Each structure stands twice: as structure tokens, then as C-alpha cells.
Amino acid sequence: MEKVRLQKFMADAGVASRRKSEEMIATGHVKVNNKVVTEMGVKVDNHDKIEVDGMPLQEEKKRYILMYKPRGVISAVKDDKDRKVVTDLLEEDVQERVYPIGRLDYDTSGLLLLTNDGEFANHLMHPRYHVDKTYVAKIEGILATEEIKKLENGIKLKGYTTSKAKVKVMSKDKKKNSSIVKITIHEGHNHQVKNMFDAVGHKVEKLARESYSFLTLDGLVSGKYRDLTRQEVAELKKNK
């Protein structure tokens, strides 16, 4: 095996994402060959003795999970406020140290992927791969035609302008002054969908992600999960 950077080795072994692994290295949680390492340039392979918080690091079988995340659950492996996190929903059949790919807000439900494959996670999160994510939002008010065009053509938010989106009004309730809108984006900025609707004057009351690339929640109920098939993993790895 060719030597790779320590943070990549950790991510591939399912310890955490590459960024989180870098934080763990920098704060002295990692030893290589019995010495604490805090620099990012160290390269390792399977012949090196690597410990994280005193526990030997062994390469895990790769795991790819599709979860129907409920509202009121954090997209993380732990929370400093002791709220429920997505890994709390996993049962004993998942022994691998998986973590979420990207995130869904605390009050957002829907499709979330988890893995212990760092390369796979980085591939899907990289902006250049344009992975479509479709959300269904319940919003206050009725979208005007010009507001739909703004959302579709890209809208300026804090620090960036969104790429083109697909927007479809599913239903309108004039009595309750609300709408159900389906929107497809391929970026993953924090609170992006909520911020997009806010920018055109409509507050999101409820939000759910119903698809990720070609994947859907078919056959799952809230709080449950399934493993991706080999074919699904291969298709996602091919995604350009």
C-alpha cells in the first residue's frame, strides 16, 4: 500500500471525516508508532502503528447507509448539547464508525447518507460533481412567477450566488396562505434552501429532502435506514 496522509488514512478507516480527522490530529488525539503527531504532513500505511485516543486503528469494512432522518435529530455523531444524533438511530448491525455525508438541519427531515469511506464522502460533497438534491418545502405565502424565476436563475445570498435550480409549485392554499414547493439544487451551503426562500420573501415552515441524485426514500419510514447496494455505490462513484 502506498503511504497516504494520516488524515486520509483515518477518514478511510472510518474514524471521522478528513476535516474532523485533521482536528483530532492537531489537538493531540493521534499517535503514530507510539509518538503523538500534531502535524498534517505525516504519511502512513498499514505497516504503521496508529492509535486514536489510545485505541489501535484498524481498517474497517466500507459501509454505505441511506437513512430517513426524522426532524429533531442532529446530522452528526455527537452533540455538545446532548441532543439525539443520527448515529443514535443505528442498531447493532452497524458496528462501523459511520458519519453523515453533508448534513440536514435539526428541523429538516429526509434522505441522508452515512459512510465510513472518506474518499466516497469527499467525492459526493465536492461542488464540481453537481449531485442533485430535491427538497419539498412548505412555505408561507404563494410564490409569484417572478420569484420562481429568481430561484431558478440563481439568487444572491450572503457570500455567494446560488446556481440554477429547478422549482415546481406542487400545491397552493390561499385560505391558509401557504404553498408546497419542490426545489432541486446541487449545492450544499448551510441553510441554503431556507435562505433561498427567505430571499424572495417566503419563510419555510417545514422542509424535507426527498431525493439525493437517483436515490429516494422509497420503502423507508422515518428513523429507519438501509444499506446501499453495490450498484448504487458504483453509480454514485461514477457521478460527474
Task: Tell me whether residue 105 is one of the annotated catalytic residues.
Answer: yes
Could you tell me the three cell numbers for 222?
422515518
**Rounded Cα distance, 58 and 80, in Å:** 27
**Rounded Cα distance, 119 and 17, in Å:** 9
**Rounded Cα distance, 105 and 127, in Å:** 19
Could you tell me the three cell numbers for 67?
437513512
CA distances for 75 relative to 42, 67, 101, 175, angstroms: 30, 11, 9, 35
Residue among 79, 105, 132, 198 flagged as catalytic = 105
**Rounded Cα distance, 191 and 194, in Å:** 5
Say which DSSP state 129 is in. Answer: G
Q: Which active-site residues does the annotation give?
A: 105
